[in-house]
Amino acid sequence: MKTLIAAPDPDEPNDAAELVFTESRTMRAQTIGRVDVLEKVKALALLPDGAHATTDMVATYYEVPDSTLRSLIHANRAELEGNGYRSLTGAELAEFASPFGGLANLGLSPKARSLAVFSRRAILNVGMLLTESPVARQVRMYLLEVERAPSPFPIPTTFAGALALAAQQAAELEETRTEVAELVATNARLSPQARVADQYEANPGITPTAFHKAWFPLVPERDFFEHLYSENYLIDQRNARWDKEKKQRRDGPEHYTPTAKGKRYFYLEPKIDAKGIRRQQTRVLPGGAEHDLVAALERDGLPSRNQPPLPGAPVVRFVRRRIGGAR
């Protein structure tokens, strides 16, 4: 039977120590993985994917106005984004809403232009920072209880007890080695792209379409992607195979995926489509790789938000190449 920690009393005096979380980013980083405390404090409502919550859901959980939560996000955006907070717009918003059947099933207007979503870690991060919420305070007190808990390792007081403990630890070590060997073998079977996707689960990066809109809006979308193909960032297999059943040309199986050159900037994120079929979606590697890609495309001559074209400069244009007999 699972025993839960007794709920700390939020009215108990001398509990100001919980404010260490609001003051110390190091302390927050050490305990950010303890998302289990959220459900111990109160029920946590999530979107149908069971992994994300909206701003309204998080504000309701912590019993604070939306405006309070938005102010906290504004002041701590970089830290929250590092723990899974995202503001979705445009194509990225449409992709996020697609598995749910559209924006309406997320409680949004079909014309909504943005949606902020929080992972469980980001929700816990909010609780570590909010000072106006009794619920957030109780979350921090739970975290303190975890930090203060005594070591679970028994210390034997007799020679026989020491022998028994040594035998138990040897058996557990052998079991752990077996599990690790199985995990290593499983990981070896995973594709490099899948391992990269696991690495960026909390912050998966943006799609090439969203990247184009964010950094290179002055370049027509078709020209932008023509450049990615012609300069060998993404594999170009447009109309590369013949569909006998539909009697028409279709893109090849590796179309729009990163080339050897492009893997410095892109990776393939596994995802399940609306029909339950496993697919792979090309995304820009988050962090420094995204900025490196901006710099590389600027060196190629594409005008960006950082480096707009000079007055009177010619607009970059590309001629679509013929692939697989396409005209």
3-state class (DSSP) for residue 63 = coil
Single pTM value for the model:
0.45
Quick: pLDDT tens for 33-62. 999 999 999 999 988 888 899 999 999 999
| pLDDT at residue 1, rounded to an integer | 37
Asked if residue 203 lies in contact with residue 81, where contact means CB atoms within 8 angstroms, the answer is yes
Percentage, residues of the chain above pLDDT 70: 76
* Residue 205 region by backbone torsions, left for phi larger than 0, else alpha for psi between -120 and 50, else beta: left
Quick: pLDDT tens for 242-272. 888 888 888 888 889 999 999 999 998 887 6
Cβ-defined contacts of 217-223 (< 8 Å, 24+): 217/305, 218/303, 218/304, 218/308, 218/309, 219/302, 219/303, 219/316, 222/320, 223/316, 223/317, 223/318
For the record, the structure tokens of 195 come out as: 């391992």
Asked if residue 137 lies in contact with residue 18, where contact means CB atoms within 8 angstroms, the answer is yes
Percentage, residues of the chain above pLDDT 90: 37
| pLDDT at residue 293, rounded to an integer | 94
With cut-offs at 50, 70 and 90, classify the pLDDT of residue 201: low
With cut-offs at 50, 70 and 90, classify the pLDDT of residue 165: confident
For the record, the structure tokens of 214 come out as: 């964010």
Residue 11 has pLDDT above 50, yes or no: no
> How many other C-beta atoms can be found within 10 angstroms of the C-beta atom of residue 123?
24
Under 8 Å CB-to-CB from 57, ≥6 apart: which residues?
45, 46, 47, 118
For the record, the structure tokens of 269 come out as: 């994120």
CA 182 distance to own-chain centroid:
26
| pLDDT at residue 158, rounded to an integer | 80
Helix (H) or strand (E) holding 242: strand 241-243
Residue 119 has pLDDT above 90, yes or no: yes
Total count of residues recorded for the chain: 327
DSSP character at residue 53: E
For the record, the structure tokens of 292 come out as: 């490196």
